[in-house]
Amino acid sequence: MPVLRTLATSERVDAMGLSLNALCQGVSDVTLAELVENGLTLRCLFLDPNGAATAAREVEEEQPAGHLAELTRANMLAVARLRKRLSSEARGRVQVRTYDEPVRFNITRFDGARALVQPYLPRLRGLDAPTFLIEADEAHPHGLFPIFEAIFDETWERADVVGN
């Protein structure tokens, strides 16, 4: 399920993970700016590159110290650069926060109805982990979608705001 195709038809995207590579590296700045200018709301929740959880993940993935932190900083700078390019109205639709907790899932939620979820598995990079497509189902309000929705929402509320 290509992220760009799903982004292009969404009004709101909430993304949570370590460095949000699929979003920050997989979609061009020009395309992302156009989507936001046309009404897309984007909330990015990065693992704090200066936090203990990032350092722990680097050890778990057997990465050199600082590698994942630098990748995350670069992606956060890409989002900051995006915000600067936007009109003042659109700029308010791009929000960034960081959290410093053990990273368990990469969650990208589209319009509160569908989510792509990847677990962070021992020793594997995120892109080597399986990806699950989870859809909201009103007939089953206690299914998987509400669980991952709550994980994002609760972490977002605890997270630190990054430059507005």
pLDDT digits (tens, 9 = 90+) for 67-89: 999 999 999 999 999 999 999 99
User: Cα dist. 55→45, 49, 100, 133 in Å?
Assistant: 17, 8, 10, 29
The model's pTM: 0.93
Report pLDDT for 10: 92
Residue 164 CA to residue 150 CA, distance in Å, equals 24
pLDDT < 50: residue spans in the chain: none
Tokens of 2: 């290509």
Whether residue 105 contacts residue 118, with contact meaning beta carbons closer than 8 Å, is answered with: yes
Kindly list the structural domains of the chain, giving each domain's residue range(s) and its CATH number in brackets, ordered by start.
3-162 (3.30.870.10)
Report pLDDT for 4: 67
- The H or E element that residue 80 is part of is helix 67-85
